[in-house]
């Protein structure tokens, strides 16, 4: 992200952060297309121009929201990589915990990824890239676990990677639609116990 004079005052930074928080909330509940700059401005208590001073368009605001989410993700992944002897089970559980802590961001991710199916959506390329990277990461991780005899070799690592990502996304959607309907943690835990021999 390019630095702008906006960043030079603490007040400017605080307003920028407040706009980003309000944008995450607005996008997470109404989607990118359903949210409006006016609504975000009203939430923060600034004018429409006040928002546009920090983010010249709704697309720029979306990019900044996704950048912020990525920064947090990178921190999370670095923490995972630094952890000694991380197993597939621990990695998946840590990802679930991480998502649970950030319910607002998880909901943002659900709606933006669904909207981005349309090639005309400003986050389309972002999600294409994102899923490619996650598939690669999971494929490598699962291949390693297979080599160590901790995951079945009856399925290709790419197949298991696609399926595991699909399972996590789909579980998250069902859990978000009705949180009390079933225990998503338990379902995931039972499936991991069935599939993975980390011990």
Indicate which single residue of 4, 8, 30, 97 sits in contact with a second copy (rule: CB under 8 A): 30
**SS3 labels along 159-175:** HHHHHHHHHHHHHHHHH
Q: How far is the CB of 66 from a second copy (least distance, A)?
A: 14
Structure tokens at 74: 């990178």
Number of CB atoms found within 10 A of residue 177's CB = 9
Counting contacts by CB under 8 A, is residue 159 touching a second copy?
A: yes
Are the C-beta atoms of 183 and 196 separated by less than 8 Å? no
Binding segment for a second copy among 14-22, 77-85, 140-148, 167-175 (CB under 8 A)? 167-175
Residues 48-77 that bind a second copy (CB under 8 A): none
Q: What are the contacts of 41-50 at 24+ separation with CB within 8 A?
A: 44/15, 44/18, 44/19, 46/15, 46/19, 50/15
Q: How far is the CB of 71 from a second copy (least distance, A)?
A: 22
Indicate which single residue of 104, 176, 185, 192 sits in contact with a second copy (rule: CB under 8 A): 176
Counting contacts by CB under 8 A, is residue 34 touching a second copy?
A: yes
Q: Please report, for residues 16, 140, 148, 152, the alpha-carbon distance to residue 69 in angstroms, rounded to integers and kept in the order given.
A: 15, 23, 33, 33
Q: How far is the CB of 116 from a second copy (least distance, A)?
A: 6
Binding segment for a second copy among 13-21, 55-63, 80-88, 117-125 (CB under 8 A)? 117-125
Indicate which single residue of 13, 33, 48, 153 sits in contact with a second copy (rule: CB under 8 A): 33
Closer to a second copy by CB, 85 or 120: give it: 120
Q: Which residue has the tokens 């079945």?
A: 152
CA trace torsion 29, 131, 103, 151 (10° rounding): 150
The closest alpha carbon to 135, from 94, 84, 169, belongs to 169
The contact set with a second copy (CB under 8 A) reads 28-34, 107, 110-111, 113-118, 120, 124, 127-128, 131-132, 135, 152, 154-156, 158-159, 162-163, 165-171, 173-174, 176-178, 181-182, 184, 186-187, 190-191, 194
């Amino acid at each position: 992200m390019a630095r702008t004079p906006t960043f030079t005052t603490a007040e400017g930074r605080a307003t920028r952060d407040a706009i980003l928080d309000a944008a995450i909330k607005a996008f997470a509940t109404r989607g990118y297309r359903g949210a409006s700059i006016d609504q975000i401005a009203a939430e923060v208590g600034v004018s429409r121009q006040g928002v546009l001073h920090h983010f010249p368009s709704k697309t720029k605001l979306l990019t900044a929201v996704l950048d912020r989410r990525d920064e947090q993700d990178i921190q999370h992944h670095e923490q995972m990589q630094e952890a000694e002897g991380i197993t597939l089970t621990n990695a998946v559980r840590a990802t679930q915990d991480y998502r649970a802590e950030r319910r607002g961001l998880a909901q943002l991710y659900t709606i933006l990824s669904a909207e981005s199916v349309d090639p005309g959506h400003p986050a389309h390329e972002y999600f294409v890239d994102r899923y490619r990277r996650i598939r690669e990461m999971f494929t490598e991780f699962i291949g390693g676990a297979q080599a160590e005899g901790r995951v079945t070799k009856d399925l290709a690592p790419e197949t298991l990677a696609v399926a595991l990502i699909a399972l996590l996304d789909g579980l998250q959607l069902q859990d978000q639609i009705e949180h009390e309907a079933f225990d998503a943690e338990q379902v995931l835990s039972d499936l991991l116990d069935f599939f993975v021999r980390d011990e």
